[in-house]
Every structure is written in structure tokens, then in C-alpha cells.
């Protein structure tokens, strides 16, 4: 199989084999949902695991951010993390120490406790791989699930696409971008997208939960916004109608994708938040986000499942774009790193 997420159909079939016999598990592994929910009395324990495989720089910092995002879209507060570090032969003690310091600093900034994990140097790795298991908590009346999305809901997108994919290309594919004619200042500006606006969606998710009745939220990662929206519809059991020209593509993302022949809709998109709300609540949410300097856009609506997934272009409705793997993975597989 090719690098990237398992195809959604295969993943759904595999997850359907799981039997949950513990009544405390409110939500287990399910396509479209970002984390598990376990009943702990007066609140839910929220659990998520996510790896970092693309980035070689700032991997410890990255790990904390992406795992926090998956808890934030459930309305939860991250509290504890366990980390597995798989390290390539030949890595120096200084490099290992740097990754560890990144973890500690990122955890401190988010008031998260690193409670354990595992480290090892292993065979045939070209670069470090980090896997995080993030635990948090949420009050029972504050939990948000993808399955809570409703037919007729407005779909809100924050920031635009693709913050993470564009920044990773600037960091990891500088030579290829320069060779394709991309200006140095554009590449350097794109690297800063990691921090401004950043890949965290925690603030946007908190604003949404405190402003309106949010029915669902989702964090589009591998496979880009197209896959994130597909996962959202799958989790909700609905159809979807999205207007292409309402999806904001960051200028640097457009330049990079044009130069490298990539599709921004399929480029890893952490930093954008997808939320569904009643249409009458959409303007209030967009205004609340804007007041905190977070741009947000209404890009479409959820429709009955039988209407399917439609993307509206200037030429009319087209079938939903499918990405067997993330555009970043496809690019890196085609070049020597």
C-alpha cells in the first residue's frame, strides 16, 4: 500500500470488527470521530493517539499540537500525554535531548503533564517517528461528536487551507520549490505559518463551544480538507454540498501547489477547524471568531445522505474529490529526501 492513511472504506471495515463490551465506553473507534470517550462518573475521559511521520523538524512540538487538536474538537481539555519515540540509528544524544525539550516546552505551554511512554533506537528508520497518546476530560454536557452534525447544518471553515501542508513543504522541500521557481521570500514566509496563524485549533474550538450550540467539529489532517469533510459526513451519516470558491486557499499554498502540481484540497490541513451549526447561528459564530482575529467562512451545508457528496464549482456540481493518500505523501514518495 502507499504511504498515508488507510482508505476510508478499508478502515471502516476493520473498525466494524471491534466489539465493545465495556459499558463505560461511550464512543470507541469510529470513522469520522476524533477521539474516544470513556465514562468516568461526572465527566468523560477523552483519549486519542496520533503520530508525527512527515515532519523531521520540531517533531516533539508538533506531536503535542496535533493531539491537542483532536481533543479540542470534542470540546475537551487535554491533561496528560504519553509519548513513544522511535529513533533512527546514528541519532545523537543532543538530537534526542532536543526532541525531549520540545515535548516539555510544548506541554508546559498547554498545561499538559507528560506521564510516560517509550523510547528506542530501531532499525531502518530514515528519521524520527513520534507517537502520542493524549488524555483529557470534558463535562458530559459539553462533549461534541461528529455524529452530532445535522442535515441542514451550515459548515464553517476557519483560517483556510493548507497551513500545515504549506509549512511542511517550506521546511522539507525547499530545494524542489526553488527549482520550480518559487521565490525565497515566499518559502520563508510559509515556514512561519506553523506559528502564525499556527496549526492549533484549540482557541477556535473553545470560541465555538462558548458562542453557539455547536453540533459537530472536526480537524482535517491527512488527506486535506476534502478528506476531512468526507470524514465529517461519514461520521454524521449525511450528504454534503460544498462551494469550492468559498474555501479559502492561502496564497502561499496556491503558489506551492501550482509549482509542484499538487491539489490543495488534498493537502494535510491542520490549523483549520471544521464546525457545523444551525444556519441561524453561523453569522454569530463567524463574527465571534473574527473578533479574535480568526477568519471563518460558511462553505456549505449538510444534506440528506441520499443526495450524496457534491462539490459546487464554477462549471457546476461535480462528484466529491477523492484522495487515496495525502498530497504531501504523494509528493515525498516521488522525490528523494
User: Can you give the pLDDT at residue 240?
Assistant: 95
Going by CATH, does the domain composed of 146-334 fall within 3.90.650.10? yes
Mean of all residue pLDDT scores within the chain? 93
pTM, 2 dp: 0.91
Confidence of residue 151 (pLDDT cuts 50, 70, 90): very high
Determine contact, residues 165/257, Cβ cutoff 8 Å: no
Confidence of residue 55 (pLDDT cuts 50, 70, 90): low
pLDDT digits (tens, 9 = 90+) for 220-255: 998 999 999 999 998 899 999 999 999 999 999 999
User: Can you give the pLDDT at residue 333?
Assistant: 83
Backbone phi, psi, residue 269, to 5°: -130, 25
Confidence of residue 321 (pLDDT cuts 50, 70, 90): very high
Fold category of 8-139 in CATH: 60s Ribosomal Protein L30; Chain: A; (3.30.1330)
CATH 3.90.650.10 domain range(s) in the chain: 146-334
d(CA 16, CA 14): 5
Cell triple for 329? 505523501
> Minimal CA–CA distance to 4: which of 268, 217, 236, 257?
268
Q: What's the whole-number mean pLDDT along residues 126-149?
A: 94
Q: What's the whole-number mean pLDDT along residues 279-295?
A: 98
Confidence of residue 334 (pLDDT cuts 50, 70, 90): confident
Cell triple for 327? 498530497
User: Can you give the pLDDT at residue 326?
Assistant: 92
User: Can you give the pLDDT at residue 56?
Assistant: 66
Give the pairing type, strands 77-88 and 129-139. antiparallel
Q: What's the whole-number mean pLDDT along residues 71-81?
A: 96
Indicate whether 137 pLDDT > 60: yes
Q: What's the whole-number mean pLDDT along residues 302-325?
A: 93
Q: What's the whole-number mean pLDDT along residues 144-152?
A: 93
CATH 3.30.1330.10 domain range(s) in the chain: 8-139
In percent, how much of the chain has pLDDT > 90? 80
CA distances from 10 to 241, 265, 325, 329 (A): 24, 21, 13, 19
Amino acid at each position: 500500500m502507499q504511504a498515508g492513511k488507510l482508505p476510508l472504506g478499508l478502515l471502516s471495515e476493520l473498525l466494524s470488527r471491534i466489539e465493545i463490551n465495556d459499558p463505560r465506553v461511550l464512543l470507541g473507534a469510529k470513522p469520522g470521530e476524533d477521539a474516544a470517550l470513556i465514562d468516568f462518573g461526572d465527566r468523560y475521559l477523552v483519549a486519542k493517539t496520533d503520530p508525527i511521520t512527515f515532519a523531521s523538524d520540531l517533531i516533539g512540538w508538533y506531536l503535542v499540537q496535533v493531539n491537542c487538536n483532536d481533543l479540542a474538537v470534542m470540546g475537551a481539555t487535554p491533561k496528560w500525554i504519553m509519548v513513544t519515540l522511535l529513533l533512527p540509528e546514528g541519532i545523537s544524544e543532543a538530537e534526542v535531548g532536543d526532541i525531549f525539550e520540545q515535548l516539555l516546552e510544548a506541554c508546559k505551554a498547554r498545561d499538559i503533564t507528560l506521564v510516560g511512554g517509550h523510547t528506542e533506537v530501531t532499525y531502518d528508520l530514515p528519521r524520527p517517528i513520534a507517537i502520542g497518546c493524549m488524555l483529557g476530560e470534558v463535562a458530559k454536557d459539553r462533549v461534541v461528536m461528529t455524529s452530532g452534525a445535522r442535515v441542514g447544518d451550515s459548515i464553517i471553515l476557519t483560517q483556510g487551507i493548507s497551513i500545515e501542508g504549506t509549512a511542511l513543504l517550506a521546511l522539507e522541500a525547499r530545494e524542489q520549490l526553488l527549482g520550480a521557481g518559487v521565490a525565497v521570500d515566499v518559502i520563508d514566509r510559509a515556514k512561519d505559518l506553523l506559528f502564525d496563524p499556527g496549526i492549533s485549533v484549540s482557541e477556535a474550538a473553545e470560541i465555538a463551544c462558548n458562542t453557539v450550540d455547536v453540533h459537530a467539529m472536526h480537524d482535517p489532517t491527512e488527506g486535506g480538507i476534502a478528506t476531512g469533510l468526507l470524514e465529517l459526513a461519514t461520521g454524521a451519516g449525511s450528504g454534503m454540498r460544498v462551494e469550492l470558491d468559498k474555501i479559502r486557499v492561502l496564497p502561499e499554498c496556491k503558489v506551492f501547489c501550482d509549482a509542484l502540481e499538487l491539489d490543495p484540497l488534498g493537502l494535510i490541513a491542520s490549523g483549520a477547524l471544521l464546525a457545523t451549526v444551525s444556519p441561524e447561528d453561523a453569522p454569530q459564530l463567524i463574527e465571534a471568531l473574527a473578533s479574535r482575529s480568526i477568519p471563518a467562512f460558511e462553505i456549505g451545508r449538510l444534506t440528506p445522505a441520499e443526495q450524496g457528496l457534491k462539490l459546487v464549482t464554477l462549471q457546476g456540481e461535480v462528484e466529491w474529490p477523492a484522495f487515496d493518500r495525502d498530497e504531501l505523501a504523494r509528493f515525498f514518495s516521488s522525490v528523494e529526501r
